[in-house]
């Protein structure tokens, strides 16, 4: 937990952490007014006249509207406004623009007006613009989305006198910040096809307490770029930037994503409370973090709010100490928590690992209570410029997710399903893929398996690039001795575990340690005979305990 002291005590960040959504909106308005004035000066309205075109008929197209029209030669050096309605409750406006006549040197520029004035002006270098509450395409301003009549603004720097250019505008209006609900053009996969994708779900930048040395060697808030660049150099496929209670980083991520087109940037926040830290990943919507018994009455309220806005949630470093040194770093809710509302738990946190604290005991206990929580890892990096071979550098540990494609919705679905293992050292090539098979069913880690009493079950751990390691099988939190040798000696090897079902509920997990006994790989469990209608009963939810026993 590098740098936790700075954040958990909330020292030096009181102003940021006490911002309400109203104050954030006010700050955005100030920036917007200044930027608007500058942008308006850049538009050559003095040399041209604004041509107001009759609104074309809007036709439904998927989740949005398609507007079509024609720009004529006599509209050269003018601006055409194409109006469209934006209803109340809209959180994102996305414009996709195309036109004909480029082979005849027609050039049409693209902008966007909200009811108050200019919101985007890209010139001719973009064909897609998106404006959301917290982020926007570079050259656009994020902020509140007022209802009313908006206009796509088409600049006409060049069209020949005898030419007509047909334009097509596709509009998507989103009412949520969930990445899974974004228009298709914003969530297109960076890589198609199923695979194991490697990432890091916990890190910090200048938008909370991430730091790095300045040009003169002073420690200063570290720009988002350095975090993303470190992840790219590590060879990761995805990251979630999870600044403490902040959402201002989303706008910078929107700018960086087109350049880092091999690395998926997923919006996230570490919701930092006095009773524990919870990662919210997969939505740009604001959820109030002020768990004080009044503004936010309890943890369940936080978790329900996250679910409403489409985020997955995980408990961060639950066994970490809490108190004056690091207020809220451990998991100490003051009232019972409905663990059904959570997606996962940080089973490896680099900061805790560095100090000899294991999160596995917490995870095992919740699994034994019937709480099907996906185990994930997080570097909790606060120093993105640290050497990548050090514990706690970005990608150490690595969360490895089996997903249908490299897109935010697919990665989140993989985590929800538990199709995850943790590469503790962040090697980049080690793999552990666990399957379980009966006569009628084959499942993978994270899945449910039904096996009646007396049914034979064959577990297998398929291991890659972990030679000289040793595989361990964990049943219900206790290591069991397999009937065959579990040493890993080959670049690719399958280690079996035969088992006969007793018809009761169990979970099985595979882990690999190195010659020094340190954990290398941790797979998620296969769940045997779990009934999801009554698992993780609310009465069994975690409550504070005096001891932090480790397995």
Which pLDDT score is estimated for 110? 98
Q: Answer positive or negative: Cα dihedral of 534, 524, 312, 209.
A: positive
Listed by start position, the domains of the chain span 62-175, 189-528
Spatial distance between the Cα atoms of 397 and 4, rounded to a whole number of angstroms: 18
**Given the DSSP bridges, would you call strands 420-423 and 398-403 parallel, antiparallel or unpaired?**
antiparallel
> What are the tens digits of pLDDT across the range 64-92?
899 999 999 999 999 999 999 999 999 99
Least confident of 48-62, 93-107, 231-245, 341-355: 48-62
Q: What are phi and psi of 3, to 5 degrees?
A: 80, 10
Looking at the predicted structure, is the pLDDT value of residue 496 above 90?
Answer: yes
Spatial distance between the Cα atoms of 251 and 431, rounded to a whole number of angstroms: 34
DSSP H or E run through 249 = helix 249-256
Tell the CATH topology of 62-175.
Answer: Jelly Rolls (2.60.120)
Looking at the predicted structure, is the pLDDT value of residue 15 above 50?
Answer: no
Strand order through the sheet with 78-86: 49-52, 78-86, 148-158, 107-114, 117-123
CB neighbour class for 140 (10 Å; exposed up to 12, middle 13-18, buried from 19): buried
Averaged confidence pLDDT in the chain: 87
Least confident of 179-188, 191-200, 245-254, 531-540: 531-540
**pLDDT band at residue 41 using 50, 70 and 90 as cut-offs:** very low
Q: Let me know: does 156 contact 99? Beta carbons within 8 Å.
A: no
Looking at the predicted structure, is the pLDDT value of residue 449 above 90?
Answer: yes
Least confident of 48-57, 124-133, 337-346, 480-489: 48-57
Spatial distance between the Cα atoms of 464 and 467, rounded to a whole number of angstroms: 8
pTM reported for the whole predicted model: 0.86
Say what the alpha-carbon torsion angle 248, 254, 256, 262 is, to the nearest 10 degrees.
Answer: 130
**Given the DSSP bridges, would you call strands 164-174 and 92-99 parallel, antiparallel or unpaired?**
antiparallel
Q: Which CATH architecture has domain 189-528?
A: Alpha-Beta Barrel (3.20)
> What are the tens digits of pLDDT across the range 118-173?
999 998 999 999 999 999 999 999 999 999 999 999 999 999 999 999 999 999 99
Encoding tokens for residue 322? 């809490």
* Count of other CB atoms within 10 angstroms of residue 11: 10
């Amino acid at each position: 937990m590098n740098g936790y002291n700075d954040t958990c005590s909330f020292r030096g960040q009181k102003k940021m952490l006490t911002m309400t959504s109203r104050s954030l909106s006010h700050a955005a308005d100030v920036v917007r007014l200044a930027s608007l004035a500058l942008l308006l000066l850049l538009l050559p309205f003095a040399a041209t006249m604004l041509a107001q075109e009759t609104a074309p008929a809007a036709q439904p197209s998927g989740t949005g509207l398609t507007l079509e029209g024609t720009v004529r030669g006599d509209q050269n050096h003018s601006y055409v406004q194409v109006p469209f309605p934006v209803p109340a409750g809209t959180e994102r406006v996305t414009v996709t623009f195309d036109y004909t006549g480029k082979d005849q040197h027609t050039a049409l520029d693209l902008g966007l007006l909200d009811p108050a004035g200019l919101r985007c002006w890209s010139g001719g270098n973009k064909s897609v613009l998106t404006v959301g509450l917290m982020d926007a395409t570079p050259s656009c301003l994020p902020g509140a989305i007022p209802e009313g009549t908006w206009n796509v603004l088409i600049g006409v720097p060049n069209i020949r006198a005898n030419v007509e250019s047909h334009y097509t505008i596709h509009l998507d209006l989103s009412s949520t910040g969930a990445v899974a609900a974004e228009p298709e053009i914003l969530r297109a996969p960076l890589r198609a096809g199923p695979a194991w994708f490697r990432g890091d779900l916990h890190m910090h930048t200048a938008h909370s307490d991430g730091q790095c040395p300045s040009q003169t060697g002073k420690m200063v808030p570290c720009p988002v770029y350095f975090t993303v660049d470190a992840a790219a150099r590590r060879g990761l496929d995805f990251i979630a930037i999870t600044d403490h209670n902040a959402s201002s980083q989303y706008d910078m991520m929107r700018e960086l994503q087109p350049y880092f087109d091999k690395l998926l940037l997923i919006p996230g926040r570490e919701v930092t409370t006095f009773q524990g830290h919870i990662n919210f990943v997969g939505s740009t919507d604001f959820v109030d973090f002020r768990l004080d018994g009044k503004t936010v009455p309890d943890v369940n309220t936080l978790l329900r709010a996250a679910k409403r806005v489409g985020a997955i949630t995980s408990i961060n470093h639950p066994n970490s100490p809490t108190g004056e040194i690091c207020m809220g770093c451990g998991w100490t809710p003051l009232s019972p928590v409905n663990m059904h509302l959570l997606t996962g738990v940080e089973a490896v946190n680099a900061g805790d690992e560095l100090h000899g604290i294991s999160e596995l005991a917490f995870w095992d206990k919740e699994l034994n209570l019937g709480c099907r929580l996906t185990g994930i890892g997080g570097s909790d990096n606060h120093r993105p410029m640290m050497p990548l071979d050090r514990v706690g550098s970005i990608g150490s540990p690595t969360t490895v997710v089996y997903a249908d494609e490299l897109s935010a919705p697919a990665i989140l679905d993989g985590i929800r399903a538990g199709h995850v293992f943790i590469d503790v050292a962040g090697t980049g090539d080690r793999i552990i893929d666990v399957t379980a098979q009966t006569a009628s069913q084959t499942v993978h880690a994270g899945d449910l398996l039904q096996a009646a009493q007396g049914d034979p079950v064959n577990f297998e751990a398929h291991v890659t690039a972990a030679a000289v390691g040793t595989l361990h099988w964990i049943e219900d939190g206790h290591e069991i001795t397999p009937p065959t040798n579990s040493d890993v000696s080959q670049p690719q090897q399958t280690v079996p575990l035969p088992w006969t079902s007793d018809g009761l509920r169990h979970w099985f997990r595979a882990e690999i340690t190195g010659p020094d006994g340190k954990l290398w790989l941790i797979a998620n469990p296969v769940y045997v005979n779990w009934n999801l209608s009554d698992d993780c009963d609310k009465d069994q939810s975690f409550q504070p305990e005096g001891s932090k026993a480790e397995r």
